[in-house]
């Protein structure tokens, strides 16, 4: 079975007529469109030559965000005035496939900032400075929003810990602002990205390693984004190299998959397909051929009979007592997860980190 073709088909089939990518078509909690997941899908489709699919996603995102321009402007105004803005007043994490806001699951948080930064980054990766008609204003609006909101605690890329500031979220915002600066010519966004990275260096580095977030010295698999694909630090940067070492030492499962972080209880906290592929992407770019080959083999081994890739592997949980609790609550783990297939394609074909030197 050719997992490249299967993965491409899963992403294509998971893209709605609107252009949005569903997070997971067979998992009821994930039948929505996240800007973060969709941006990685768009990067992957571009990497395999399906650029039109990527463009359709970005056009959908512009429409969905533009429809909430009043909410966006209100949040910017409140933040600029120093007012406390509750999460329901901020921009949503996920949308329905038609671009309207998902609002029916009240106990599930819907405020994250990383998706908007990742979307700006992916938009620049897709179009460069040659923006389609109608994109410019939305890009400026989102960049303004992130510029005033970046130090606001929010849920991380795993939908958790909403009262904290997370390093990978700051990375996504900084990369998005770097991208917005180049797409719009507004240097103020680049200056804010500099401030964010200074903050990361001061508050999110402990013992020579990047850490999960402010006040949390654990390592997290999502820290890979600092170098790949965001290019905020070099792959050879000593702090990033130390972070890679911690990810391998602390988050590797017995079979070689990569977990999210120590203490993870979601479906038992097993190894995630997308993180193992992400680390392998770094290894390929670092010319660590043996480690890259191991990542490819591990990911491909996780494909089911139909060739689809799940969110995580349940056979190697770090919190075994939580596996059945989540299965009883939400059913079997999400399969296929489009982000897993996207990162497999990026593992195989993803390009070098973004260069911000121009």
Q: What CATH number was assigned to the domain covering residues 3-349?
A: 1.50.10.10
Interhelix angle for 69-80 vs 136-149, to 10°?
A: 30
Mean pLDDT, residues 56-74: 97
User: Are 221 and 210 spatial neighbours (Cβ–Cβ below 8 Å)?
Assistant: no
For residues 20 and 97, give the distance between their C-alpha atoms in angstroms, rounded to a whole number: 6
- From the candidates 78, 102, 159, 300, give the one annotated as an active-site residue: 159
The CB density around residue 38, as the number of other CB atoms within 10 Å, is 32
Name the band, by pLDDT with cuts 50, 70 and 90, for residue 305: confident
Would you call 160 a catalytic residue per the annotation? no
- Of the chain, the end-to-end C-alpha distance in Å amounts to 41
- CB-based burial, 339-352: b 16+ in 10 Å, e otherwise: bbbbbbbbbbebee
Residue 274 has pLDDT above 90, yes or no: yes
The angle at the Cα of 52, spanning 46 to 54, to the nearest 5 degrees, equals: 50
The angle at the Cα of 160, spanning 39 to 110, to the nearest 5 degrees, equals: 60
Looking at residue 154, its pLDDT comes to: 95
Looking at residue 325, its pLDDT comes to: 97
Strand partners, 272: 258, 312
Residue 134 burial (C-beta neighbours within 10 Å; 0-12, 13-18, 19+): exposed
- From the candidates 37, 114, 141, 156, give the one annotated as an active-site residue: 156
Is the pTM higher than 0.75? The answer reads yes
Q: Which residue blocks in 128-259 are alpha helix, DSSP H?
A: 136-149, 167-184, 187-203, 238-251
Mean pLDDT, residues 122-135: 97
What sign for the dihedral angle of Cα 54, 56, 60, 66?
A: positive
- From the candidates 37, 220, 264, 311, give the one annotated as an active-site residue: 311
Domain borders along the chain are: 3-349
Would you call 156 a catalytic residue per the annotation? yes
Looking at residue 47, its pLDDT comes to: 98
Dihedral-angle region of residue 82 (phi above 0 means left; psi in -120 to 50 means alpha; beta otherwise): left
User: Are 115 and 35 spatial neighbours (Cβ–Cβ below 8 Å)?
Assistant: yes
User: Are 2 and 312 spatial neighbours (Cβ–Cβ below 8 Å)?
Assistant: no
Looking at residue 88, its pLDDT comes to: 79
pLDDT in tens, 199-230: 999 999 999 999 999 999 999 999 999 999 99
Residue 104 burial (C-beta neighbours within 10 Å; 0-12, 13-18, 19+): exposed
Residue matched to tokens 């719009």: 184
pLDDT in tens, 307-332: 999 999 999 999 999 999 999 999 99
Name the band, by pLDDT with cuts 50, 70 and 90, for residue 105: low
């Amino acid at each position: 079975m050719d997992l490249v073709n299967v993965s491409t088909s899963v992403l294509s089939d998971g893209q709605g007529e609107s252009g949005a990518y569903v997070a997971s078509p067979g998992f009821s909690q994930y039948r929505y469109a996240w800007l973060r997941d969709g941006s990685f899908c768009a990067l992957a489709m571009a990497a395999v030559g399906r650029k039109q699919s990527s463009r359709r996603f970005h056009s959908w995102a512009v429409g969905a965000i533009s429809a909430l321009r009043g909410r966006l402007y209100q949040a910017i105004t409140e933040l600029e005035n120093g007012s406390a803005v509750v999460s329901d007043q901020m921009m949503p994490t996920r949308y329905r496939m038609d671009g309207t806001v998902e609002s029916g699951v009240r106990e599930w948080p819907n405020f994250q900032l990383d998706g908007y930064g990742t979307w700006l980054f992916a938009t620049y990766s897709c179009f460069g400075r040659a923006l389609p008609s109608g994109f410019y204003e939305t890009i400026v609006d989102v960049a303004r929003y992130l510029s005033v909101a970046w130090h606001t605690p929010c849920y991380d890329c795993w939908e958790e810990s909403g009262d904290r500031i997370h390093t990978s979220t700051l990375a996504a915002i900084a990369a998005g602002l770097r991208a917005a600066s180049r797409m719009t010519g507004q240097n103020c966004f680049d200056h804010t990205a500099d401030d964010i990275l200074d903050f990361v260096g001061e508050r999110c580095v402990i013992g020579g390693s990047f850490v999960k977030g402010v006040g949390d010295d654990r390592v997290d698999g999502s820290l890979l984004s600092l170098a790949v694909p965001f290019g905020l630090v070099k792959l050879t940067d000593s702090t990033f190299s130390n972070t890679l070492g911690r990810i391998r030492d602390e988050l590797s499962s017995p079979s070689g998959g990569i977990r999210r972080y120590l203490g993870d209880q979601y479906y038992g906290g097993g190894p995630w397909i997308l993180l193992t592929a992400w680390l392998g992407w770094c290894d390929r770019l670092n010319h660590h051929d043996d480690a890259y080959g191991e990542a490819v083999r591990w990911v491909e081994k996780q494909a089911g009979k139909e060739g689809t890739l799940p969110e995580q592997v349940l056979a190697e949980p770090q919190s075994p007592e939580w596996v059945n609790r989540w299965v009883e609550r939400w059913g079997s783990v999400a399969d296929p997860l489009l982000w897993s297939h996207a990162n497999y394609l990026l593992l195989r074909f993803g390009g070098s980190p973004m260069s911000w030197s121009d």
